[in-house]
Structure 1
Amino acid sequence: MKLGIALPTVGPPGRRRYVLEVATAADRMGFDSVWVSSHVALPRQRESTCLYPRAKTADAYNWGVAWLEPIAVMGLVAGVTERVRIGTHVLALPYRNPVILASELASLDQLSLGRIVLGAGIGWMDEEFRTVGVPRKQRGARTDESIEVMRTLWAARRPTSFHGRFTDFDDMWLASRPHSEQGPPVYVGGNTEAALRRVARLGEGWLAHELYPEEIPPARDTLARFAEEAGRDPAGIELTVRRALVPPFEVMDFMSDRLSIRGTAEEVAEQLDAYRRVGVSLTVLDLSMRPAEIVETMEWLVKDVLPLM
């Protein structure tokens, strides 16, 4: 089981020194990856419902809470790490021009020597869609096309063309070139059937959010069926899940008992291994709101939990 760490980029912990502290610790300790969350604008009064009904941190989606911009964070982290992968969990593709985003991610991929992962989402907040000037009802179609545009530009070895519903160009060459031959891998987020169809058609990986081990097999089987219908081998799609984790020592616990992986080293190892047994190969962990506690928990995972797995 590979472990990834959510970087402290939301609220008061979202400061340069804290991001660097956690990212360099993850790189040094051998964690697989670090991940950045994303929102562009937050409303004074939010009426839209949080996409993640199990989340207990809905206040993070209200005004007054700062979110660091993921592209900037990824560049900072790429410059101070050597081996850890750096991903978005997730980036709402309808909010962004796919040609510009393709160039930004290509540069990040080049500067990180191929360590960038695009975690793609469709977005959910009505107020945010209105602010960026994109109709919410187009979010699925825009996400699909954005992935196709970026892959076309990344893979092209000469000027290329694209004629879609939202993006149209002839004989153009992306000025920034990725390090990876086909560009950064695209992992698709979401737990719905529509999200699984998108993963099956377009994703190298699936970013499940707050699913318990017993919920993975039916979703995995649905994903496999959709992949086969799309002419793809399901085995080529990496299954991941994001969960909060609370160690057996005092940290700032921002999740309910039901939502967090918690317990002794043996109990946590068993809960993580339950995901491995149902086909998940990467678990992305939200640890604490305090960066020092994040690092302390990472040290505990490496010393006491991973040897049991």
Structure 2
Amino acid sequence: MTKDGMHFMADVPQVQLSTPLTSFSATDPGGWDHMFRHARLLDRAGFDRLVVSDHVVLGERLEEYSRPEIGGQAGGRQPTGPDGHWLEPLTTLSVLAGMTSRIRLGTNILLAALRRPVVLAKSTATLDVLSSGRLDLGVGVGWQREEYEAAGLRFEERGRLLDHTLEVCRTLWQEERAGFSSPELGFEAIHMMPKPTRPGGVPIWVGGSVNSRVADRLARFGTGWIPWGVEAADLPAAVGRMREALADRGRDPSGLQVVGRLAGRTRPDGELDVERTMEAVPGLVAAGATDLRLTVRIPDDDAEAHDRLSGIVAAFRVAAVS
């Protein structure tokens, strides 16, 4: 439990298998039916969660993605140029919610501070209700100065702005008659319905490395943690440090959910070697990972795609309990 009474989400039944769903394209794809098809196939095959990315706008200094000191990733490369087509994630997940029935719908990550907090609280509560409680809100500060400048915000204040946004959202999600006061805004006797399906609000997954600001944010708001950069590469040590940081802040770390990267291993023909890939699952689970992210290639034929994806899920379920 946190100092202010919030809990980690404790009703996840098992280690989960998730995958990024590509909601961007380097050039105009001429339509997004391929994305719709992939979401439906993942849902039917039994994947637990799909996640989509976020860029509201792009500047022209995309090489800064490789700078970890501003939130990028060392050696990383932005997947599109400045004229890449990036779908807004909450709008995208709203469409996908109507095409699926059981798979959880997540952001990895949403630049939440770019949205007005009261509108974000409303849109996420709406999506959560309409999807029968399937929304997961993965958030982070991002790395691109131009996005904050285009929104009229100071890049240097992005961490504080994110915390402020999450605090307003949580207030509106939880309080029947809400009041809030900060230097940026103040309101009282505000009513926002419907509320999200969970009493604590939409589950929030905090992205970032092990540092005091991220640990504070996770302790205050987080259901789960999305490790970033070197932390993702050395998960056992990173989870240990984050759990210690949470305990220092009065947060019980035992229920912390953690994203772990499940690297796909390939056969000589380039296809996923499912058996070899799943060999890494027990180690990741032992390290503290509860949501394993695997990038998958989906065949063009629906029957072949269903068989392949279902086989991946079945192998994962066995590996996760071994």
Aligned to 2:43: 27
Segments of structure 1 that go 5 or more residues without pairing to the other structure are 253-262
**Deviations along 1:152-184, whole A, 9 cap, x unmatched?**
101112x21101233321211124432323321
TM superposition shift of 1:81: 1.2
**Per-residue deviation, 1:76:** 0.8
Deviation readout 1:93-121 (Å, 9 max, x if unpaired) = 22111110000000001101111111011
Which of 50, 62, 67 is matched with 2:86 structurally? 67
Indicate the residue corresponding to 2:117 in structure 1.
Answer: 98
User: Are positions 1:301 and 2:312 aligned together?
Assistant: yes
* Cα 1:108/1:299, change in 2 over 3 Å: same
Kindly provide the CA deviation profile for residues 49-83 of structure 1, in whole angstroms up to 9, marking residues without a partner as x: 444425654242x3121111101111011111111
Question: TM-score of the superposition, structure 2-length normalised?
Answer: 0.82
User: Whole-Å Cα distance in 2 between the matches of residues 18 and 299 of structure 1?
Assistant: 19
Relative distance call for 1:285 and 1:100 in structure 2 (3 A) is: same
1:168 equivalent to 2:182? Answer no
Pick closer, same or farther for the CA change 1:247–1:301 going to 2, 3 Å: farther
Q: 1:280 offset after TM fit, Å?
A: 0.4
SS at match of 1:283: strand
Find the aligned partners of 2:232 and 2:65 in 1 and give their Cα distance. Answer: 25
Query: Which of 32, 36, 40 lines up with 1:16 in the alignment?
Result: 32
Query: Which residues in structure 2 correspond to 1:88-127 (within 5 Å)?
Result: 88-127=107-146
Identity among equivalent positions (%) equals 29
> Aligned equivalents of 1:154 and 1:301: distance in 2?
36
Aligned residue in 1 for 2:73: 53
Determine whether 1:205 maps to 2:205: no
Instruction: State the SS of the aligned residue for 1:48.
Output: helix
Q: Which residue among 222, 228, 238 is the counterpart of 2:241?
A: 222
User: What is aligned with 2:274?
Assistant: 265
Q: Distance in 2 between matches of 1:226 and 1:241?
A: 19
From the superposition, tell whether residues 212 and 181 of structure 1 become closer, same or farther in structure 2 (CA, over 3 Å). Answer: closer
**C-alpha distance in 2 between matches for 1:45 and 1:237:** 36
Cα separation, 2, equivalents of 1:205 and 1:95: 21
Residues 109 and 140 in structure 2, CA contact (< 8 A), matched pair in contact too: yes
The 4+ residue runs of structure 1 with deviation greater than 4 A are: 12-15, 210-214, 249-252, 293-297, 303-306
After TM superposition, the structure 1 stretch with the greater mean CA deviation from structure 2, 206-215 or 232-241, is: 206-215
CA distance in 2, matches of 1:285, 1:15: 25
Question: Cα–Cα, structure 1 residues 128 and 291, in superposed 2: closer, same or farther, change >3 Å?
Answer: farther
Equivalent in 237, 251, 255 of residue 236 of structure 1: 255
Number of residue pairs matched by the alignment = 296
The Cα of 1:272 is off from its aligned counterpart by: 2.5
- Counterpart of 1:256 in structure 2 is none
* Partner residue, 1:283: 292
The 2-side partners of 1:242 and 1:292 are apart by: 25
Q: 2:210 touches 2:242 (CA, 8 Å); kept in 1?
A: no
Q: Does the 8 Å CA contact 1:211/1:241 hold for their aligned counterparts?
A: no
CA offsets 1:177-197 (integer angstroms, 9 cap, x no match):
323233211110112413233
In the alignment, structure 2 segments of 5+ residues that lack a partner are 1-14
